[in-house]
Amino acid sequence: MTRPAIAPDMWLPLDPQTGRPGDPVVGSASLGFWAGVRSRLWRHRPAMAGLGFIILLIVAAVFGPMLSPYSYFQQNLELSNLPPVYRPYTVAEGVQVHVNTSNLSLYEVGDGGGLTGLLRPDGRDMINRQTTWEIAGKTVVLDYGQRPAVLTIDGEVAQAGGRKLNRRNPFGTDQLGRDVLVRQLYGARISLLVAAAAVLANFVIGVVYGGVSGLLGGRVDAVMMRIVEIVATIPLTLYVILMMVVLQSGLLSVVLAIGTVYWVDMARVVRGQILTLKSQDYVAAARTMGASTSRILFKHLLPNAFGPILVTLTMLIPSAIFIESFMSFIGLGVTPPQASWGTLTSEAVETLRAYPHQLFFPAVAISLTMLAFNFLGDGLRDALDPRLSS
Amino acid sequence: MTAPLLSLRDLRTEYRTDRGVVQAVRGVELTLHRGEILGLVGESGSGKSVTCMSLLKLLKRGGHITSGTADFDGVDLLSLSDRALTRVRGDRIGVIFQDPMSALNPTMTVGRQIVEVLMQHRRIGKNAARARAVELFKLVRIPSPETRIDNYPHEFSGGMRQRVMIAIALACEPDILIADEPTTALDVTIQRQILALLKELRDRLGMAIILVTHDLGVIAETADRVMVLYGGQVMEEAPVADLFAAPQHPYTRGLLAAIPDPRLAGRPLSPVRGSPPDMRSPPPGCPFAPRCPRAMRICATPPPMYDGTESARLRPTQRSRCWLADTNAPAPTPEPAE
Amino acid sequence: MTGASRLPLMWLAQRIGMMLLTLLAIITLTFALMHAVPGGPFVSEKMLAPEIEAALNAKFGLDQPIWRQYLNYLGGVLTFDLGPSFKYPGVSVNSMIADGLAVTAQTGLLAMICVVAVGVPAGIVAALNRGRWPDTLAMFLASLGIAVPSYVIATVALYIFALRLGWTPAFGLDDWRGYILPVVALSGFWMSFVARLTRSNLLETMSQDYIMTARAKGLPARTVMLRHGLRNSLIPVVTVLGPVVANLLTGSFVIEQIFALPGIGRHFVQSITNRDYTAIMGITIFYAVFLMLMILIVDLLYLWLDPRISYGDRK
Ligand SMILES: Nc1ncnc2c1ncn2[C@@H]1O[C@H](COP(=O)(O)OP(=O)(O)OP(=O)(O)O)[C@@H](O)[C@H]1O
Ligand code: SF4
Ligand SMILES: [Mg+2]
């Protein structure tokens, strides 16, 4: 083998202080744990989308109802069951009406395109199944002898125009003429309130219960975990239902029932974390230095157990939101006129045949919210577990 | 010497991860003769396992062999399809892994795990396979094999499980046994027993063994020839006696210097100051240069593999990938005490 | 050791003891709760139809001290007699349960079958095609299934398939098509959950060392996957089947209401709205017993599947 000649000075030793050819790359190990978590979470697109949605939802739920001219309970039976989008009939230049073929009423279209008022009929012919209005000097007849009902203006069959947004009530109105948008936002408030209450209650109960169980260990731990086992066998929904039966329906009861139920997972997680951490040296050190149990719990253990606790909490939120809406749906949750996504859905089911669009908003709202929290939880869990990201 | 049993040339393997491409193996050459025990040593991450597993294309997710040939009995293993390789794996080449705790399927009796490999490669009935499994248990000295064969892995101790693994690997009397740190997870006495067993089995069955280890003591005791790996490359290669008597490569010297008497040592290698290179961007020249006490300017250029037959600085059977093996290089000086 | 001989009788006895204890706790709790309700069944001064009052009195002895009433009730439960309805004269809680059992059991069983028969294969397909479109699709659907509440699935499906398209009846189970929507809505969540769990378990299992061993033995990829990967990855899936049963039960409350199915769930919800307290108690206890049995069965199944577990030598 022939090798190229090598210049003599190449054989000189390298000064260890200066340019050694190629420095050892330390790698990303020096990156802090939380910085890593944050960057992984940041790159987790569904989680970020979920977080964005949640922030939006919170802002809308807090400020939306304040900005709305309507309240969640204000009824207007004349303007009930209005759609968010409709196709107006033009009666005369600048005069348009909306026909509700389910209740056979005509509504006035306001300047901005909102449905602003019910038009009182000027004549009803029950036998021929016709209702007559005099509008802008024209005779408008709704013939409901046939299905769907036909509108004639001065004897001519009218054609509906292009789709228009109902600017008065962008999401339409419900059976009692209440504004659906503001009720939706109110429902968001309830869901978020329940979520917050559940998180708070669970955090406190779960951390204290699991913490005490894990720290004390031994017999106390065994008994406490047996209790957890028993509680865990009962389906939480059933438990919440029984609570609601006793407490009577209402928002406070829902919050109370849900808040006191979901701590079991949290207690288990915290206990598990504590058992692993307990075996580590610094806790033993703190103990020998005379730190009290609660001090150890809050100063040393919680910061370390923060990750799993956070994931458990995030995963708990959709369950709490779900169970509230579930209870409200079967009529055991918040009481009318309060609006929860569950009651909104069940109200929409009542009018499903005539006004299916009323199902749309609560169904989408709860589904998106659940998705958002689930995505965020998944993202957090993945981000906290570096093992998964290779 | 006769033609080698296995001859691996220019193996390059990389792992594509979402943090970059890890160049795990960068041009490893390996020759294995019949009945020989070849030791592979090197620090963690030096590419020992990847080299072995590349031979059978048993790479974890993301692993790709980008070049190389592995001539085994006239066929190039690296160009075989996965399907064709199943006829080599477990039959002509057996593998033992480091951790006997996790290398056995926990929900299957050990007997079935042996019978399975026999039935895969031999035209053999269930009963015959079972009888052979009992025989293999005897071979690896598991007491009361007839009953133990129906036990689950968790019912065995670590050492016994490793014997089960050996029995599985030897079931089809392979030509080559790859033992990837077979004793690292075991305590010292068990470790000696397993090594003695491997040696004895080699003597009885005549297969070649590639023995991967961290432990130069294990090498000294068991291997015939050694290859020292670092940064995905072979640094030095020699018969065991030569390597211990006259290590040429500064990395090998570093390894040996950390052990007063290699025959007594049982601890893992971490003797040389500094840490191994990040294999996503290995040093452009000699991979050891950032840690090498003798580094020279030339070391920024990748050193060639010097062969003992051409360099007076090496024994005839020795090979070293270090510029210091060049006859023009400054003469070796006693290393500065640390 | 074989599967059968691993069955530890001690453990079983302990387990059943624990179950009875839990049951006792539940009975006591529901009794206490119902006692706490103003106007509940164990308060003597109330406005009730005379024959109901008489039946209650005969059963529980309303004039007797509370602990006697409790014992009376407990005695009833132990002899499988849950007492008279609090609202319907001449109707017993037992007959209410018997009345709805067939419907609930049918839909529940079908839903359970769906969960396993759809969830597990979907998870496997996703894992096998990791990162490719079948995986993306399956996991997208699973995300939806987990996020969208069952009652939303049910109402939306009801609207689309029953009201708009007319493919399925809107209520009742007179025809096999009537089962489709309730079963899908009921099983949606757990189907998705099981699919995700199966996928992640299978991927996790396939990265285990013993899978590498199996490959190193020269087994074909399919055999490795089926014989070594799948079985071990499905063991944890079995553990969620207990909770699945519980969830299907509570899910049936709303599903039976939406599709007007005369099952126990509907009776239960009606009892709640009617404040039929004895029915609420009785059905709750029935659920609890049923669940406890299911969990025991799942535990036994787990024992049989995973040889590492020996409940016998628990501390
Ligand atoms: N599955 C993988 N994904 C990404 N990189 C990997 C993977 N397996 C190995 N590597 C990288 O390949 C290089 C060589 O690894 P290898 O496992 O061969 O080292 P080793 O010498 O066997 O070390 P050890 O003594 O720790 O077993 C290392 O840099 C390692 O980080
Ligand atoms: S080539 Fe240079 S840097 Fe590498 S080992 Fe030899 S002397 Fe050291
Ligand atoms: Mg290795």
Question: Strand pairing partners for B11?
Answer: B28
- Burial of A304: CB neighbours in 10 Å, binned 0-12, 13-18, 19+: middle
Q: Which of A10, A28, A390 is opposite residue B297, by nearest beta carbon?
A: A10
Q: Which of B43, B50, B64 to mutate to test the pocket of ligand 1 (most atoms within 8 A of CB)?
A: B50
Per-residue confidence (pLDDT) for residue A15, from 0 to 100:
59
Which residues have CB under 8 Å from A230's CB, separation 6+?
C21, C22, C25
Q: Is the peptide bond before B247 cis (omega within 30 degrees of 0)?
A: no
**Taking CB atoms and an 8 Å cutoff, what residues of chain B touch C213?**
95, 97, 103-105, 165, 168
Task: For chain B, give the mean pLDDT.
Answer: 87
> Does the distance separating the beta carbons of A13 and B281 come in below 8 Å?
no
Helix axes A302-329, A180-216, angle to 10 degrees: 140
Q: Does B119 touch chain C (CB under 8 A)?
A: no
- Amino acid at site C237: V
Per-residue confidence (pLDDT) for residue C19, from 0 to 100:
84
pLDDT of residue B262 exceeding 60: no
Among A25, A26, A389, the residue to mutate for chain B (most B Cβ within 10 A): A25
| Least confident among A72-86, B116-130, B179-193 | A72-86
Question: Could you tell me the mean pLDDT of each successive run of 10 residues in chain C, 315 residues long?
Answer: 57 83 84 74 60 67 74 82 78 85 88 92 90 90 89 87 80 77 89 92 90 93 89 85 81 85 87 82 86 84 76 42
Single pTM value for the model: 0.82
Q: How many domains does chain A have?
A: 2
The SS3 call for residue B331 is: coil
% residues pLDDT > 90 (chain A): 4
Ligand 2 pocket member B235 (CB < 6 A)? no
The SS3 call for residue B277 is: coil
Per-residue confidence (pLDDT) for residue C210, from 0 to 100:
93
Q: Which of B19, B289, B297 is opposite residue A22, by nearest beta carbon?
A: B289
Asked if residue A257 belongs to a domain, the reply is yes
Per-residue confidence (pLDDT) for residue C42, from 0 to 100:
59
**Taking CB atoms and an 8 Å cutoff, what residues of chain C touch A219?**
none
Ligand 2 pocket member B298 (CB < 6 A)? no
Per-residue confidence (pLDDT) for residue B230, from 0 to 100:
93
Q: Please state whether beta strands A150-153 and A115-119 pair in parallel, antiparallel, or not at all (unpaired).
A: unpaired
Residue segments in chain A with a per-residue pLDDT below the cut of 70: 1-4, 15-32, 280-283, 287, 290-291, 293-294, 296-304, 386-390
Residues C125, C137 contacting (CB under 8 angstroms) = no
Same domain for A317 and A194: yes
CA distance C160 to A359: 12
Residues A232, A239 contacting (CB under 8 angstroms) = no
CA-nearest of C103, C102, C107, C113 to C241 is: C113
Same domain for A248 and A132: no
Provide the CATH number for the domain around residue A350: 1.10.3720.10
Asked if residue A42 belongs to a domain, the reply is no
pLDDT grade, residue B237 (50/70/90)? very high
Q: Where are the domains of chain C?
A: 104-262
Per-residue confidence (pLDDT) for residue A21, from 0 to 100:
43
**Taking CB atoms and an 8 Å cutoff, what residues of chain C touch B121?**
218
Instruction: List the single residue in A with minimal CA-CA distance to B296.
Output: A13
**Taking CB atoms and an 8 Å cutoff, what residues of chain C touch A346?**
151
B53 alpha carbon – ligand 3 mean position (Å): 10
Q: Does B99 touch chain C (CB under 8 A)?
A: yes
Q: CATH homologous superfamily of domain C104-262?
A: MetI-like (1.10.3720.10)
Same domain for A282 and A154: no
Asked if residue A68 belongs to a domain, the reply is no
pLDDT of residue B161 exceeding 80: yes
Instruction: List the single residue in B with minimal CA-CA distance to A23.
Output: B290
**pLDDT one-digit tens code per residue, A79-123:** 777 777 777 777 777 777 777 777 777 777 777 777 777 777 777
Higher-scoring residue by pLDDT: A313, B118: B118
Order the strands of the A123-125 sheet from edge to edge.
A123-125, A130-135, A138-143, A150-153, A156-157
Q: Does C240 touch chain A (CB under 8 A)?
A: no
Q: Which residues of C136-172 are buried (b: 16+ CB within 10 A; e: fewer)?
A: eebbebbbbbbbbbbbbbbbbbbbebbeeeeebbbee
A98 alpha carbon – ligand 2 mean position (Å): 88
CA distance B28 to B7: 11
Dihedral of the alpha carbons of B12, B17, B20, B23, in degrees to the nearest 10: -20
Residues C242, C194 contacting (CB under 8 angstroms) = no
Same domain for A245 and A143: no
Ligand sitting nearest the alpha carbon of B287: 2
Determine the atom of ligand 2 nearest the C-alpha atom of B325.
Answer: 6
> Does the distance separating the beta carbons of B120 and C228 come in below 8 Å?
no
- How many residue pairs bridge chain A and chain C with CB atoms within 8 Å of each other? 106
- Amino acid at site A46: P
- Here the tokens at position C59 are 């059963």
Residues B287, B277 contacting (CB under 8 angstroms) = yes
Ligand sitting nearest the alpha carbon of B58: 1
Which residues have CB under 8 Å from B83's CB, separation 6+?
C220
Q: Where are the domains of chain B?
A: 100-171, 284-333
Per-residue confidence (pLDDT) for residue A273, from 0 to 100:
81
CB atoms within 10 A of CB B174: 22
Chain position carrying tokens 């009833």: C76
Same domain for A144 and A227: no
Residues B287, B234 contacting (CB under 8 angstroms) = no
Structural domain containing residue A101: 85-165
Per-residue confidence (pLDDT) for residue A283, from 0 to 100:
66
ipTM over 0.95: no
Pocket-forming residues, ligand 1, beta carbon under 6 Å: B 15, 17, 22, 24, 42, 44-50, 60, 62, 214, 279
pLDDT of residue B66 exceeding 50: yes
B42 alpha carbon – ligand 3 mean position (Å): 10
